[in-house]
Amino acid sequence: MTLATRRFIPVLDCPDPRALAGFYRDLLGWQIETDRDEWFELARDESTAIAFQLAPDFVPQRWPEEGVMAHLDFNVPDLDDAERVALDLGATRVHGPSTATTFRVFRDPAGHHFCLCSC
């Protein structure tokens, strides 16, 4: 038996859900679908969404020292162009132990890790 799901929604804890939802809205071009003080949902379509939940005491992981429990990957057609967009919107590039050329690691303004990939 499996779960009957309608949507898979990763949720990012953060101190300012409105601001973080705005960052990802601008980065991805998705639409804010749910707008509440403590919960925002950003949707691409009926099956793809990201939510942002109020967590005033959120502390980002330090990578690579602490590892990363989970992160978001976005497959993009051009890494250089995508990096410029992410940095212009307030992301920070993270340089770590990997020398891979097919992805780049960033932190969003709240400190969550995400990768831009060209795989």
Please report the DSSP string for 71-115 in residue order. Answer: -EEEE-S-HHHHHHHHHHTT-EEE--S---SSEEEEE-TTS-EEE
Q: Mean pLDDT in runs of 10 for the chain (119 residues)?
A: 86 96 97 94 93 95 72 95 98 85 94 93
What pLDDT shows up at residue 68?
67
Q: How far is CA 114 from the centre of its chain?
A: 5
Phi-psi label, residue 69: left if phi above 0, alpha if psi -120 to 50, beta otherwise: alpha
Whole-model pTM? 0.88
In contact, 71 and 114? CB cutoff 8 Å: yes
Question: Which tokens is 53 given?
Answer: 């939940």
